[in-house]
Chain A
Amino acid sequence: MTQFLQTLFDGVTVGCLYALIALGYTMVYGILKFINFAHSDVFALGVWMSITIAGWIGIGAAGEPVPPWYMGVLVMLLAMGVCGAVGFTVERIAYRPLRGAPRINVLITAIGVSLFLQNFGQLRWIFGAYPKAFPTLLGDQTLFSLAGVNFRLSDAAVIGTAVALMAALQYLIFRTKMGAAMRAVSFSPRNASLMGINVDLVISFTFVVGTMLAAAAGFLYGVKYGGQAKQTADSMWVMLGLKAFVAAVVGGIGNVRGAVLGGLLIGLIEWFGVAYLGSQYRDAYVFAILILVLLFRPAGVLGKATIEKV
């Protein structure tokens, strides 16, 4: 029972992170109809910017007292800002000129951007190729225990922040003018531009929002797992990002609520697979789910099938 609850809890926590990253994939796909392969690297950038910014401010180093919680929030917001700027630049330079190009070309560009971010980050003047520890920005105390399952402060931070961000996004998309513009562009960029919507602006905005969510996920990942494993700037992130992408596809790509649902689903499947079937096949569970979903319900759980016009 304890194991079951623990697994459920871990799955939900990781699922929240996946959901945050999946939102970025799904928003970009919804509007531009392509997989932003570099999204996972923005997530990694979020982790690294958090480390760097905390270092600049001078908080969270090993052995020092834990800084107040609002410093952590500050680090997160700064990291989100930097990543948003990077997302904006990438869209402007690499993706915008390819508007209307075949999808495969855009995908190859995205792979190029991904490789660039990975290897640029590993230069010794940027983040370096060696692992670094994530600063301690939150206390490690246990808030309460339930049936043998510990509920830590970091878990509360992850779930709380994730839910808050998702609620904010929900508000943005369905309650604001910009959100209406985003939905219009997603439906038909051409018609949206005929209605006087600045499509380029909306796409840039979507990119920035998506990358900022990924950066927040990166920060939360660091807070949750930073103490256990040192962080490197290499391709391991691609795998995490890909799982988030799988989450977006499973939920129904282009569908914001689907991304959240898919993220939770993938988190749970992964953790239950690890707990009950063995950890060495961790990555295989997720991709097996992807292949099954694509074969039997290609539009995802919440997606709609589309008909190609001849």
Chain B
Amino acid sequence: MPTLIEQARSNKPAAASILPRAIWPLLVGLAIGALMFYVIGPGMGDYPSKIVLIAGINIILAVSLTVVNGFTGQFSMGHAGFMAVGGYVAATITYYGSMKLFGSADPAGGVLSFTGGADKPTALARWGDALFIGSCLMGGVGAAIAGYIVGLPSLRLRGDYLAIVTLGFGEIVRVLLQGTHEQIQPWRVEDALAKPVYELAISLGGPKGFQLLPTYTTLFWVYLFVVVTLIICYRVKNSSTGRAFLSIREDEIAAQAMGVDITKYKVRAFVLAAFFAGVAGGLYAMDIGAINAGDLGFLKSFDIIIMVVLGGMGSISGAALAAIILTILPELLRNPPPVWPVGLVLIALIAGVSSYRKRFRWKPIIVIAIASTLLEVGRQIALSKGINVADFRLILYALLLITMMLVRPQGIFGIHEIWEILPGYARREAARNGARGGSQGGKP
């Protein structure tokens, strides 16, 4: 029997089909980014599109944390630390880089940007977006290096000990960043030009945070990265690497016995997750125009963990969905809309589908009916008493987390993607396996 490597070599598809497979995620990302920027963003107005942008950043954070917490089963509580590392690296390069290259810390739009920039004096000054996106990637690299360092202790520690170490790492990052020197203000460009790079790299604003950053982040960049992150994580999950991650989570001893180098894969998971968190940090910093390590402590890490836990420990689409819902939820709670129409539609759907399949199911209908009624009663009470439900948001999350662990500890979708639990998926998958296996499969 030829080895797998030999088989793989003999199995090369035509060269023409290779490139598109590597490139199409980027093209889709560009397309969706452009769509968000040109059509959806302007169509929604300023405030909603801001929410959509933050949702995008949260998707990147949640999906990347899924790689460590969901796939590999290591419990990282320091994801915000990676975000902080990436954010500060990106902010430093963009801010001081702008000063050094363009002579000012203002945004220098142009070629890649959609924010204009024809008014800029020199050709160089139109490359601000390139600097920005390069610095975000460098932020990702910086965070990935941090991820490598944090991944190393995970070789020796398991479960809750690792959780505490990652949390400690996040706090150390925060403390170190808050101990940096005052930043050089944008109106003192000459000082920045005079100072050597290593001195600039430790002038990051200290406890006050790194402020007055050029705001380059747009829906385009965020959703470009969202798409790329989603596709890369999906590809990793459905590959030998992803199965190795999952096997570590399921049973480390069996994984080792099957030849999985758990050390290597744990570090890999941390590096991958940290990279995307770092990029998200860069996007976050240059969206707000400031980054403060104090905001990126363990509470921020918990926010991301909640998204992953709710969405499903190991479900990419689940984590993304949870990120969207949890970003929008506070806004909705501020002025809660009635939920019962959605409940009615759901009940109608379930009733329709289940009677079509001749297997009528009462249980979900009753649950939805009761939940809708309760929500409506609660909403009416809140409205009549003038209570701002958004104030209870964190209590709600906490209760949600506790209930989730009691009722469905694997999260809403578990390790499955949303489309995998749709009816018919299992049948199609079985047909696919049968078709491939039938022709070459051996007989028992």
Chain A residues proximal to chain B, CB less than 8 Å? 34-35, 94, 97-98, 101-109, 111-116, 118-120, 123, 235, 238-239, 242, 245-246, 249, 278, 280-284, 287-288, 290-291, 294-295, 298, 308, 310
Contact of B397 among A94, A115, A290 (CB under 8 A): A115
Q: A35 near B163 (CB under 8 angstroms)?
A: yes
Minimal beta-carbon separation of A250 from chain B (angstroms): 12
Q: List 16 A-B contacts (CB under 8 A).
A: A35-B164, A94-B406, A105-B409, A108-B405, A109-B402, A112-B399, A113-B402, A114-B398, A119-B394, A119-B398, A123-B391, A235-B297, A246-B168, A284-B172, A294-B161, A308-B253
Q: Are the CB atoms of B179 and A280 closer together than 8 Å? A: yes
A295 touching B405, Cβ below 8 Å:
no
Contacts of A249 in B (CB 8 A): 161, 164
Partner of A291, one of B153, B253, B409: B153
CA distance A290 to B162 in the complex (A): 11
B171 touching A284 by the CB < 8 A rule?
yes
Interface residues as binary, B247-269 with A (CB distance below 8 Å gives 1, 0 otherwise) = 00000010000000000000000
Q: Is B332 an interface residue (CB 8 A)?
A: no
Given contacts A35-B163, A280-B175, A280-B178, contact A98 B399 (CB under 8 A): no
A119 vs B402: C-alpha distance when bound (angstroms) = 14
Docked-complex contact B401 and A111, CB < 8 angstroms: yes
Q: From the candidates A94, A115, A278, name the one contacting B302 in the complex (CB within 8 A).
A: A115
13 further interface pairs, Cβ-Cβ under 8 Å (given A113-B398, A280-B207, A291-B168)? A35-B164, A98-B405, A104-B160, A108-B401, A108-B404, A111-B401, A112-B397, A112-B398, A112-B400, A113-B402, A242-B168, A283-B172, A287-B169
Question: Which residues of A have CB within 8 Å of B179?
Answer: 278, 280-281
Name A294's contact: one of B157, B167, B305, B402 (CB within 8 Å): B157
Q: A111-B302, A249-B164, A280-B179 are in contact. Are A287 and B172 (CB under 8 A)?
A: yes
- Whether A235 pairs with B299 at a CB distance below 8 angstroms is yes
Those 9 A-B pairs whose CB atoms lie nearest each other, nearest first:
A112-B401, A287-B168, A116-B398, A115-B398, A119-B394, A112-B402, A284-B175, A109-B405, A280-B179
- B206 (CB) vs chain A CBs: closest residue: A280
**Closest chain B CB from A146 CB (angstroms):** 33
A-contact bits for B381-400, CB 8 A (1 contact / 0 none)? 00000000001101101111
With a 10 A CB-CB cut-off, give which of A103, A116, A246 has the most chain B CB atoms.
A116
Question: How far apart are the CA atoms of A232 and B227 in the complex, in Å?
Answer: 41
CB proximity of A19 to chain B, nearest CB, Å: 18
A295 and B168 CA atoms in complex are apart in Å by 13
How far is A284 from B297 in the complex, measured between Cα atoms in Å?
Answer: 13
Give the shortest distance, in Å, between B175 (CB) and chain A (any CB).
Answer: 4
Query: Is A35 within 8 A of B394, CB to CB?
Result: no
Contacts of B253 in A (CB 8 A): 308, 310
Decide: B178 and A291 in contact? CB cutoff 8 A: no
CB-based nearest A residue for B396: A119
Chain A residues within an 8 Å CB radius of B405: 98, 101, 105-106, 108-109, 112
Q: Are B156 and A107 in contact (CB under 8 A)?
A: no
In the bound assembly, the distance between CA atoms of A106 and B309 in angstroms comes to 12
The size of the chain B interface, using a CB distance under 8 A, is 43
Bound Cα distance from A111 to B156, whole angstroms:
24
Task: Answer whether residue B75 sits at the interface, using C-beta atoms and an 8 A cutoff.
Answer: yes
Docked CA distance A107–B397 (Å) = 15
Say yes or no: is B128 at the interface (Cβ < 8 Å to chain A): no
B161: chain A residues at CB < 8 Å are: 249, 294, 298
A118 and B179 CA atoms in complex are apart in Å by: 27
How far is the CB of A253 from the nearest CB of chain B, in Å?
Answer: 9
Contact assessment for A103 and B160 in the assembled complex, using a CB-CB cutoff below 8 Å: yes
Q: Which residue of B lies closest to A101 (CB)?
A: B409
Least CB distance, B180 to chain A, in whole angstroms:
10
Q: Is B147 an interface residue (CB 8 A)?
A: no
Asked if B73 is at the interface of the complex by the 8 Å CB criterion, the answer is yes
A291, B165: Cβ atoms under 8 Å? yes
| B residues lining the A interface (CB < 8 Å) | 73, 75, 153, 156-157, 159-161, 163-165, 167-169, 171-172, 174-176, 178-179, 207, 253, 297-299, 302, 305, 309, 391-392, 394-395, 397-402, 404-406, 409
State which of B157, B167, B169, B394 has its C-beta within 8 Å of the C-beta of A242. Answer: B167
Which chain A residues lie closer than 8 Å to B153 at the CB level? 291, 294-295
Shortest distance between the CB of A101 and any CB in chain B (Å):
6
In angstroms, Cα B29 to Cα A207, docked, is 51
Which residues of A are found within 8 Å of B157, using beta-carbon distances?
A: 294, 298
Contact present for A35 and B402 (CB under 8 Å): no
Residues in A whose Cβ lies below 8 Å from that of B404: 108
* Chain B residue at smallest Cβ distance from A35: B160
Which of the listed residues A114, A283, A287 has the most CB atoms from chain B within 10 Å of its own CB? A287
Q: How far is the CB of B67 from chain A (nearest CB, A)?
A: 16
Query: How many whole Å from A32's CB to the nearest CB in chain B?
Result: 11
B409 — which chain A residues lie within 8 A by C-beta?
A: 101-102, 105, 108
Alpha-carbon separation in the docked complex, A102 to B159 (Å): 10
- Chain A residues, Cβ within 8 Å of B164: 35, 242, 245-246, 249, 290
Distance between Cα atoms of A107 and B309 in the complex (Å):
12
Assuming the contacts A104-B73, A280-B175, A281-B175, asked whether A94 and B156 have C-beta atoms less than 8 A apart, the reply is no
CB distance from B176 to the nearest CB of A (A): 7
**Smallest CB separation, B419 vs chain A (Å):** 26
How long is the Cα–Cα vector from A239 to B75 in the complex, in angstroms? 19
Please tell me if the beta carbons of A104 and B395 are within 8 angstroms of each other in the complex.
no
Using known A-B contacts A98-B405, A107-B160, A298-B156, determine if residue A290 contacts B395 with beta carbons closer than 8 Å: no
Question: How far does the Cβ of A20 sit from chain B's closest Cβ, in whole Å?
Answer: 20
The answer to whether B398 and A287 touch across the interface, beta carbons within 8 angstroms, is no
Q: CB-CB < 8 A to B309: which residues of A?
A: 108
CB B83 to nearest CB in A, in angstroms, measures 18
Contacts of A98 in B (CB 8 A): 405-406
Of B176, B397, B400, B406, the contact of A281 (CB 8 Å cutoff): B176
For residue B93, give the distance in angstroms from its CB to the closest CB of chain A: 24
Tell me whether B398 and A34 are in contact (CB under 8 A): no
Which residues from chain A contact B174 at a C-beta distance below 8 Å? 283
With A34-B160, A112-B398 as contacts: A294 and B73 at CB distance below 8 Å: no
- The distance from the CB of B69 to the nearest CB of chain A, in whole angstroms, is 8
Q: What CA separation (Å) do A144 and B294 show in the bound complex?
A: 40
Nearest neighbor of B399 in chain A, beta-carbon distance: A116
Cα-based distance from A308 to B305 in the complex (angstroms): 28
Say how far B21's CB is from chain A's closest CB, in angstroms.
Answer: 35
In the complex the two chains form, is A94's CB within 8 Å of B402's CB? Answer: yes
B395 touches A295 (CB 8 A): no
- Among B153, B168, B172, B409, the most chain A Cβ lie within 10 Å of the Cβ of B168
